[in-house]
């Protein structure tokens, strides 16, 4: 289910950036720098402010250093290194006048009301009439922030609460106020949604807003239960991660990630600000002594020397250790701490919660209280359960929000269990239980239950934004098999959706792609859109299938699969209609080759694209080598001469280079310059469809590439470079074999650079290389290792 958090109505015609191009960020700490970097990613001009250190020669040194750190950050906060040029270091003493042309000023300083008030009053006189001023506070109510502010400034003031790291976590909570100018929230939310790619959630002005209100309750409740049950941190995390649809960090590893030292302050501010009847008070403070002790010992989490978990690297190996909650000692972490019930989670939460072991009882206790708490927050934090569920999904990476989880379990059973456990049933939950569920579906549209008992249609916008939207509204796909489907996406667009496990490419997907090309020859179709709703567009071929065939020695089956892929991708490339792919997440190997054969790509900015075949001991053989050689030259990414493209392709493919953003993918040639990048994941498919319809006007298929490749002379050069790498210890013996085969393909085999080679010539070389590598035991070992462990074997 892909419920978009309610997006602002588009009836008011508004610029896609909400009129925000120039931004100022006040405070260059981790969050401030992260927000500044992400605004630069969005193409904004950014002033980054901080204080002047005592006696500093460079008075903007703090901000300048922060920009320097952005370039080295890991994970990378900048989508492209050049984005740092859009961020200018300034200081709060000399440069306030520069605020005059800023469209949005966001304050990201320490969580102290007095300091924030001083900043607002110092900058007010410099701000423009149309400015939006906001604070990134996570704990201070908006009402306190605007206290003493001029009415005019208060009317321009929002809370915009980002989650860390701002580039990667899509949740943005916004708190407005009654005095806020009417279109201000809409401007901000359009900008945040379209340009920053955020899922904007409007929250009421209550402590912790939505995400942290519920998230902190859950974490505190889990700590209390862990102590009650006398569980270890490994046991707790093993039950509270994947088995219940949460990230595998569970609770304790999550605190390590967030930073142990910030937890007491955050919990305290909630306790200070929440009404006395709030359920958090009952459990706040549980485990406080443990956390205080850890902080005093310097165990502040991953940013420090460790937290509940630490990596012991003494003796040259990395051993994960866990902290005892009893005596604070560390010992090798138990990787098998999960109870039997953890596996039952796959069959549904209810099955897990009813399993007869202590792990299940532990989970049940925590979830019942958390669900009751969530239901009690409506309408206080928001009257919109879809917003609450969405916040937990995108802010905390939960697979489902609490209301979606409750629906999946069954409300009648849940209420019964709560009653048995002595939990007071919140009135909203009672209302929902009476009706059967929180969500419903009417005529293809999803509805949510309102506090008043009304069913409200969830707006996803008029245009189709996801494959799920089409599925709900159409009775049947045009064509379907176990791995892929073809849908009518309106306006003459054929949509090909992959739905095999992990979207792995297999002969069934090829069959559907070929069927789409066949269908498209009929006049009613304008083009083919390849898109899906998964986190990852496609991580490559189904290795299990290939390995199975190889282990049986079924070479002709394997070779047929290679040939089928080549024919399919060539058919896509030369179809009479344009083909556009909507990329997001991982687009690797055969998935990357689909992008290379598409007429256009709309990529989510967070797309990780690469030809990684060498990692599993093979070479790209569905035209990846063929397209990469031509692409590098066509996109002018390499110079002239017969070695230019082969050398760069050799580096990209031989080192299995993966672009860490769509912007970087353009540098590497996996995307063309004309391909488009969309910051908001929810809009990738509709943008791709628009691009397709543009290309469909006056479309004619591309002319085939011709190649002039260096032949044996170039092969000699690449092999020399490869041997040097091996001697230097950067290439393994099997790397020499695999990348040696790659070199033969990329240099054109037994040709001379005065010869003209065709696409078919390169495809034949790809087939030859893979036929040889597939028969190599070491390649099969790489495939097996990848399937078993999910990472490459260095043999």
Partner 1 sequence: MTAVICGFSRSPFTPAKKGALSGSRPDDIAAEVIKGLIDKTGLDANLIEDIILGCAFPEAEQGFNLARMLSFLSDLPHSVAGVTINRFCGSSMQAIHDAAGRIAMGAGDAFIAGGVESMTRIPMSGFNPMPNPRLATEMPEAYTNMGLTAENLAAIYEIERGTQENFAVESHRRAANADFSDVIIPITTNSGEVSTDGCIRSDSNSNSLARLKPAFKSDGSVTAGTSSPLTDGAAFVLVCDKEFAIAQGLDILASIESTAVSGCSPEIMGIGPVSATQKALMRAGLSLEEIDVIELNEAFAAQSLAVIEELGLDASKVNIDGGALALGHPLGASGARIVGRAATILAKKDAKIALATMCIGGGQGIATILRKVE
Binding region for partner 1 (CB under 8 A) = 639-644, 710, 712-717, 719-720, 724, 727-729
Residue number, 410 or 712, with CB nearest to partner 1 = 712
**String of DSSP letters for 111-124:** S-HHHHHHHHHHHG
Please report how close the Cβ of residue 651 comes to partner 1 at its closest, in angstroms: 12
How far is C-alpha 29 from the chain's CA centre? 23
Spell out a b/e string for 445-465, using b for 16 or more CB atoms within 10 Å of the CB, else e: ebbbbbeeeeebebebbeebb
**465: part of which helix (H) or strand (E)?**
none
Between CA 644 and CA 648 the distance in angstroms is: 7
Q: How far is the CB of 743 from partner 1 (least distance, A)?
A: 12
Q: DSSP alpha helices (H): ranges in 728-758?
A: 733-746
**What gap in Å lies between CA 466 and CA 468, rounded to an integer?**
5
Provide, rounded to whole angstroms, the least separation between the CB of residue 713 and partner 1: 4
CB of 642 to partner 1, least distance (A): 6
CB of 186 to partner 1, least distance (A): 44
The least distance separating partner 1 from the CB of residue 483, rounded to whole angstroms, comes to: 44
Minimum CB separation from partner 1 for residue 711, in Å? Answer: 8
Rounded CA-CA distance 743/415 in Å is: 65
Sign of CA dihedral 245, 251, 253, 258: positive
φ, ψ for residue 600, nearest 5 deg: -155, 155
Report the C-alpha gap between 490 and 478 in whole angstroms: 12
Q: Which residues are catalytic?
A: 593, 613
Nearest to 487 by CA among 495, 518, 424: 495
Which residue, 158 or 638, has its beta carbon nearer to partner 1? 638
Q: How many CB atoms lie within 10 A of CB 543?
A: 20
Cβ at position 641, least distance to partner 1 in Å:
4
Residue among 719 and 767 whose Cβ is closer to partner 1? 719
Closest CB 632 distance from partner 1, rounded Å: 13
> Look-up: residue for tokens 């595998």?
248
Half-sphere exposure (Cβ direction) of 743: Cα atoms closer than 13 Å: 18
Closer residue to partner 1 in complex, CB, 348/639:
639
Cβ proximity to partner 1, 219 vs 742, nearer residue: 742
- Take residue 279 and report the two structure tokens written for it: 């359920």
Backbone dihedral region for residue 245 (phi beyond 0: left; psi -120 to 50: alpha; all else: beta): left
Q: Give the list of residues 6+ apart from residue 576 with CB closer than 8 angstroms, or none.
A: 520, 521, 699, 701
Q: Record the tokens describing residue 710, joined without a space.
A: 């260096």
Strand-pair category, 309-312 with 479-480: unpaired
From 547, 545, 539, select the one nearest 610 (Cα to Cα). 539
Which CA distances in Å does 173 have to 103, 163, 713, 787?
19, 9, 59, 39
Contact 590, 622 (CB under 8 A): yes
Beta strand pairing call for 199-203 and 171-175: parallel
Unique residue bearing structure tokens 């495809």? 763
Contact yes or no for 160/106 (Cβ under 8 A): yes
Going from the C-alpha of 331 to that of each of 268, 491, 627, the distances in angstroms are 31, 61, 51
By C-alpha distance, which of 739, 383, 727, 764 is closest to 567?
764
The 10 Å Cβ neighbour count of residue 260 is 25
In whole angstroms, the minimum distance from the beta carbon of 313 to partner 1 comes to 17
Both structure tokens of 488: 């009518």
**Shortest distance, CB of residue 791 to partner 1, whole angstroms?**
22
Comparison of 197 and 642: residue with beta carbon closer to partner 1: 642
Tokens encoding 507:
């002969």
User: Cα separation of 375 and 406, whole Å?
Assistant: 10
Q: Rounded to whole angstroms, how far apart are CA atoms 714 and 310?
A: 49
**At closest approach, how far in Å is the CB of 765 from partner 1?**
17
- Cα–Cα distance for residue pair 781/793, rounded to 1 Å: 8
Beta-bridge partner residues of 87: 46
Judged by beta carbon, residue 392 or residue 722, the one nearer partner 1 is: 722
Rank residues 23 and 715 by Cβ distance to partner 1 and give the closer one: 715
Name the residue among 662, 410, 393 with its Cα closest to residue 537.
662
Closer CB to partner 1, 361 or 717, in the complex: 717
């Amino acid at each position: 289910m892909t419920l978009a958090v309610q997006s602002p109505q588009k009836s008011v015609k508004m610029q896609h950036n909400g009129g925000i191009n120039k931004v100022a960020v006040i405070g260059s700490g981790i969050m401030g720098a992260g927000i500044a970097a992400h605004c630069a990613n969005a193409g904004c001009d950014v002033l980054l402010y901080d204080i002047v250190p005592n006696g500093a020669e460079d008075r903007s040194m703090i901000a300048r250093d922060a920009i320097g750190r952005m370039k080295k950050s890991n994970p990378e906060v900048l989508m492209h290194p050049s984005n740092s040029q859009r961020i200018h270091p300034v200081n709060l003493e000399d440069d306030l006048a520069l605020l005059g042309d800023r469209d949005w000023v966001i304050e990201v300083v320490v969580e102290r009301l007095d300091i924030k008030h001083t900043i607002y009053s110092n900058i007010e006189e410099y701000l423009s009439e149309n400015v939006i001023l906001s604070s990134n506070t996570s704990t201070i109510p908006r009402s306190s922030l605007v206290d003493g502010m001029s009415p005019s400034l208060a009317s321009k003031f929002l809370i915009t609460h980002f989650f860390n790291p701002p580039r990667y976590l899509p949740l943005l909570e916004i708190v407005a106020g009654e005095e806020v100018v009417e279109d201000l929230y809409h401007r901000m939310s359009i900008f945040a949604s379209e340009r920053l790619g955020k899922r904007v959630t409007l929250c009421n002005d209550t402590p912790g807003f939505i995400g942290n209100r519920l998230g902190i309750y859950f974490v505190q409740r889990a700590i209390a239960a862990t102590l009650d049950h006398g569980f270890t941190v490994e046991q707790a995390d093993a039950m509270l991660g994947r088995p219940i649809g949460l990230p595998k960090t569970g609770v304790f590893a999550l605190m390590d990630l967030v930073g142990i030292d910030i937890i007491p302050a955050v919990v305290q501010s909630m306790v200070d600000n929440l009404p006395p009847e709030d359920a958090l008070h009952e459990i706040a403070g549980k485990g406080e002594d443990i956390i205080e002790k850890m902080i005093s010992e310097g165990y502040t989490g991953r940013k420090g020397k460790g937290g509940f978990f630490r990596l012991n690297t003494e003796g040259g190996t990395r051993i994960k250790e866990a902290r005892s909650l009893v005596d604070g000692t560390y010992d090798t972490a138990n990787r098998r701490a999960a109870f039997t019930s953890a596996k039952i989670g796959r069959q549904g939460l209810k099955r897990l919660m009813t399993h007869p072991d202590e792990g299940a009882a532990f989970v049940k206790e925590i979830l019942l209280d958390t669900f009751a708490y969530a239901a009690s927050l409506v309408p206080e934090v928001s009257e919109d359960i879809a917003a609450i569920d969405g916040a937990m999904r995108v802010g905390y990476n939960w697979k489902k929000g609490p209301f979606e989880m409750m629906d999946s379990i069954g409300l009648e059973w849940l209420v019964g269990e709560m009653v048995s456990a002595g939990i007071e049933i919140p009135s909203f939950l009672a209302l929902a239980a009476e009706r059967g569920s929180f969500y419903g579906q009417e005529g293809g549209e999803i509805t949510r239950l309102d506090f008043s008992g009304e069913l409200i249609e969830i707006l996803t916008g008029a245009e189709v934004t996801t494959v799920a939207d089409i599925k709900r509204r159409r009775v049947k796909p045009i064509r379907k098999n176990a791995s892929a489907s073809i849908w009518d996406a309106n306006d003459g667009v054929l949509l090909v959706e992959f739905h095999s496990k992990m979207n792995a490419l297999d002969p069934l997907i090829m069959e559907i792609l070929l069927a789409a090309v066949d269908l498209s020859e009929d006049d009613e179709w304008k083009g083919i859109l390849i898109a899906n709703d998964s986190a990852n567009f496609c991580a490559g071929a189904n290795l299990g299938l290939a390995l199975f065939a190889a282990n049986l020695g079924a070479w002709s089956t394997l070779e047929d699969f290679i040939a089928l892929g080549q024919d399919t991708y060539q058919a896509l490339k030369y179809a009479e209609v344009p083909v556009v792919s909507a990329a997001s997440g991982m687009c690797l190997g055969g998935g990357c080759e689909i992008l290379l054969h598409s007429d256009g790509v709309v990529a989510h900015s967070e797309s990780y694209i690469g030809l990684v075949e060498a990692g599993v001991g093979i070479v790209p053989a569905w035209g990846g080598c063929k397209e990469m050689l031509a692409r590098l030259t066509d996109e002018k990414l390499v110079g002239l001469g017969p070695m230019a493209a082969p050398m760069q392709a050799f580096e990209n493919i031989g080192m299995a280079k993966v672009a860490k953003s769509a912007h970087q993918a353009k540098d590497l040639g996996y995307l063309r310059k004309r391909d488009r990048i969309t910051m908001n994941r929810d809009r990738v498919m509709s943008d791709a469809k628009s691009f397709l319809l543009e290309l469909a006007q006056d479309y004619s298929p591309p002319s085939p590439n011709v190649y002039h490749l260096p032949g044996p002379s170039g092969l000699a050069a690449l092999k020399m470079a490869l041997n040097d790498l091996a001697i230097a210890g950067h290439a393994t013996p099997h790397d020499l074999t695999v990348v040696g085969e790659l070199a033969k393909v990329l240099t054109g085999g037994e040709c001379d650079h005065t010869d003209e080679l065709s696409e078919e010539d390169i495809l034949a070389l790809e087939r030859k290389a893979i036929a040889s590598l597939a028969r190599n035991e070491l390649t099969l070992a790489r495939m097996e290792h990848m399937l078993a462990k999910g990472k490459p074997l260095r043999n």
